Amino acid sequence: MLNLERLRTLDALARHGSVSGAAAGLHVTTSAVSQQMTKLEREVGQQLLAKNGRGIRLTDAGRLLADHAARILSQVELAQSDLEAQRGLAVGELRISAFPTAARGLFPTALAALRERHPGLRVTSRELEPGDGAAGVVRGDLDLAVVLDWYNKPLAVPEGLARASLLDDPADVVLPAGHRLADRDEVDLEELAGDEWVSWPEGEYCHDWLMFTLRAKGVEPRVSHCAEEHHTQLALVDAGLGVCVAPRLGRGVVPDGVRVVPVRQGVRRHVYAVWRADADRRPSIRAAVEALRAAGATVG
């Protein structure tokens, strides 16, 4: 009889493509992964893995069994969801992620509410960029991820995921107090064509959005400084080193030496939660979405 945990290990190997990746996704050691696969090969009487340079690859038998494992594990998740739904209780473990400003702006309130209302639910959280969070849900490393779309640049969400809107997050331009536009009620992004910019690190979803948006308006941005944390971005603007776009979610206290000016076009991020569709009936998922929405309702 096939062992479920060994099938889960094979599924992780197929999804991650390496022993180290599978170990990280399963939160076990690489030796534990190797041991499980050795036992599974003994059970099925066939070689499932083969060396591929310094790594490994699945054999034909390995790929065949991995396809079955994915379907079996999906059915197990459906069964667990149905059992949770029948009990009507949010219990067990819930693994969630959010991009940094959502983790800062939503998680403290939402997770505290979940702990108070659902004492049988154990939540673990981590910060991940939107694409990484969605991929983690698809792989089964996460149960739910908080992700985002910009108003003019949607995020590609993989098939098989359900989603729920949490909030619309307005974004403003942040200028040094002495900037020529600092006293304006609104600005157009085109008016900042000659300015230096403070942005997110290159390759991050929000950095790509900023480049896409400014270039669509005929502006080739001069990005002089990159910082992942919004507090660092605001500090650089406060020092007169550039301008930036700052969403309101998770923004925190704004330095005295900067001015926050709305964008005339109404720049917004759409923040939502995604989870595997086969886990749709889990009360813990629905409880988390409710708590995240309530936390998002307080964002101004």
State the average pLDDT for the chain.
Answer: 89
Q: At what angle do helices 19-26 and 4-16 cross, to 10 degrees?
A: 120
- What is the longest distance spanned by two Cα atoms in the chain? 75
In single-letter form, the type of residue at position 36 comes to Q
The mean pLDDT values, 10 residues at a time, for the chain of 300 residues are 86 86 81 90 90 85 90 78 68 91 95 94 93 86 93 84 94 96 94 93 90 90 92 95 93 92 91 90 91 89
pLDDT value at residue 138: 82
pLDDT value at residue 86: 58
Total residues belonging to the chain: 300
pLDDT value at residue 300: 62
Picking from 294, 292, 24, 25, the residue whose alpha carbon sits closest to that of residue 146 is: 292
pLDDT value at residue 211: 93
